[in-house]
Amino acid sequence: MTGVVGKQYGEAAYRWVVQDCPICEEKPTQKLGRRGGTAHREGLGVETEIWRCQGCGLIFPNPMPFPVGGLGRHYNEPPEEYFQNHEPERKDSAGSALLRRAEELTMGKGRLLDVGSGRGEFLREGWEPIGIEPSEAFARHAEEYSSAVVRREPIEDCNFEDEAFDVVILSAVLEHLYQPNDTMREIARVLRPGGALFVDVPNEEGLYFRVGNLYQRLRRRDWVVNIAPTFSPFHLFGFGPRSLRKLLNKHNLRPTDWSVYPGESMVPAHGNSIAMLERLAAKAVTAASSIGELGTYIETWAIRKPG
């Protein structure tokens, strides 16, 4: 990244850094539109320009907004509020199923690293777990929930030994990272050959996002519905099947158990009559997105190849 400049919007303050594609390491050439602030129907966040890499399809803001004073501005919500709409039993059940598949892929339980531990549901299943959660409040919550050790620093600063883990979990995390390429490089380093990485991300090349952007064009707006760099849920990079595969392969990780699925509509239930119509349309589009790789979410296991 190069070209740091200063910029401020009302109460929000960011450093704006010219952003190359972290996967292809080239400048983006396709501007998709604007997102946030005046380019958001509720005025959320601040206005950012959203670009796509022609090489791999990755979507990201350029320049990239870094919050002045650190990430506390983005992730300062108490865990009990952040998780209030989660269904603990369903999350625990899904976590157990995922770890059973990890055991099948790696031929038994071993050392497990959960990057972005959240509630800590992946740290309770009889493995030898270590969590990573930079948010102090979230880390404390995960430790209390799981009784596992949870590190507070990024994985790049943890100084784990080479090939230290049998399984790494990266669930609902990759799209939030400012340096996804650096994080994936470090994960590949600490994962043993034959070890398994789980990743899931929104599919920003899916039908939901394509139709949403077309709808904005039909309303004569240069807005996009991709990512959310300066407002919740603070998605910084928009992956699709092409870009996620390229990132994994770049770091000697072979995707397996690949799944692209519709999930649920992202449009909130509240709002005026237009918003209600938009929500109904979004639900219809989401339901129709089960064809091919047009679903709204991607999840995969990836096996670290030897060498």
DSSP state of 174: G
Q: Is 76 a residue whose pLDDT tops 80?
A: no
Burial class (CB in 10 A: 0-12, 13-18, 19+), 80: exposed
- Structural domains in the chain (count): 1
CA-to-CA distance for 150 and 134, rounded, in angstroms? 9
Q: Give a yes or no: residue 36 inside a domain.
A: no
**pLDDT at position 278, please?**
64
Alpha helices in 191-272 (DSSP H): 207-218, 241-250
Whichever domain contains 284, its CATH number is 3.40.50.150
CA-to-CA distance for 179 and 161, rounded, in angstroms? 21
Q: Give a yes or no: residue 44 inside a domain.
A: no
Identify the CA nearest to 223 among candidates 59, 9, 40, 30: 40
Q: Give a yes or no: residue 45 inside a domain.
A: no
Residue 40 identity: H
Which region among 82-96, 202-216, 229-243 has the lowest average model confidence (pLDDT)? 82-96
Query: What residues make up the domain containing 186?
Result: 78-304
Tokens standing for 299? Answer: 């999840």
Q: Give a yes or no: residue 14 inside a domain.
A: no
What's the average model confidence in pLDDT over 226-231? Answer: 96
Q: Is 68 a residue whose pLDDT tops 50?
A: yes
**pLDDT at position 3, please?**
42
Q: Give a yes or no: residue 17 inside a domain.
A: no
Contact 37, 46 (CB under 8 A): yes
**pLDDT at position 55, please?**
97
Identify the CA nearest to 232 among candidates 97, 73, 63: 73
97: helix, strand or coil: helix
**pLDDT at position 119, please?**
83
Half-sphere exposure of residue 91: CA atoms within 13 angstroms, side-chain side:
16
CA-to-CA distance for 15 and 2, rounded, in angstroms? 12
Q: Give a yes or no: residue 91 inside a domain.
A: yes
Q: Give a yes or no: residue 87 inside a domain.
A: yes
**pLDDT at position 12, please?**
55
Contact 226, 203 (CB under 8 A): no
DSSP state of 296: S
**pLDDT at position 93, please?**
83
Q: Give a yes or no: residue 212 inside a domain.
A: yes
Q: Chain-centre distance of CA 160, in angstroms?
A: 23
Q: Is 266 a residue whose pLDDT tops 90?
A: no
